[in-house]
Structure 1
């Protein structure tokens, strides 16, 4: 059993749901060394999130963004935390709702995602910076 850990960065992205599967694979060529294992991804930020969803139709990503904007609106009168603008507290709520980590199986040197699945970075801020991800690979 082997353990490896890496940190990689994704450049700033506009607000929305972004398919990042290819960027994850590119940042972690070590995945190909594992016959069986797990890839754990942890996003080191509190105003963005990670999820797995549809990887083919981009309307899924825009529909998710529209839904979360209605589900967690900006400028709610009861928000107290708005130090960085009207998207500040909603970004934290969305991040807590979706989550900041994923675990994906590795099979024969590849991520064992379903045919229509992809890894998303969900950017909840209007003006974000780069996002750091800690990747831990375990397996053999």
Structure 2
């Protein structure tokens, strides 16, 4: 089986947001897959994806603090500044984390660990909707 579709996420504030439920909800065909792969690709250059802790909101806040400290706005060396002070740092953060994830699928569900979830990493202060391309392959 091959299934591919877009998932548009509502605008989120800057930060790290769990989106596992939205992804699973967009793919009812997951329930038919015994073994396979789910590829998730974000079609933006100032947001990214990652997998990490799904229980404690402290982890998401710590991620945001870490990236803001290490990729600061207002760094005098930035040249690309026409789209606002958060734009170039957002591009750097998105490149560090990456635009895609490949998740194993087992028995009709993403085979994530007990405490793992998929994050939308929103790096802009005022973004719009974000679009993901979901590609499911399995048997």
Q: TM-score, normalised by structure 2?
A: 0.99
Residue 34 of structure 2 is matched in structure 1 by 35
Residue 133 of structure 1 is matched in structure 2 by 132
Deviation at 1:95, TM superposition (A): 0.2
Residue 44 of structure 2 is matched in structure 1 by 45
- Flag structure 2 segments of 5+ consecutive residues without an equivalent: none
Equivalent residues, number: 139
Deviation at 1:137, TM superposition (A): 0.5
Q: CA RMSD in A?
A: 0.5
CA distance in structure 2 between the aligned counterparts of 1:21 and 1:54, rounded to whole angstroms: 12
CA distance in structure 1 between the aligned counterparts of 2:22 and 2:36, rounded to whole angstroms: 19
- Flag structure 1 segments of 5+ consecutive residues without an equivalent: none
Higher deviation after alignment, 20-29 or 57-66: 20-29
Residue 114 of structure 1 is matched in structure 2 by 113
Residue 100 of structure 2 corresponds to residue 101 of structure 1: yes
Q: What are the superposed Cα offsets for residues 24-83 of structure 1, whole Å, 9 maximum, x if unpaired?
A: 111111111100000000000000000000000000000000000001000110101011
Q: TM-score, normalised by structure 1?
A: 0.98
Segments of 4+ moved more than 6 angstroms: none
Residue 59 of structure 2 corresponds to residue 60 of structure 1: yes
Deviation at 1:4, TM superposition (A): 1.3
Residue 6 of structure 1 is matched in structure 2 by 5
Residue 87 of structure 2 is matched in structure 1 by 88
Residue 78 of structure 2 is matched in structure 1 by 79
CA distance in structure 2 between the aligned counterparts of 1:68 and 1:28, rounded to whole angstroms: 31
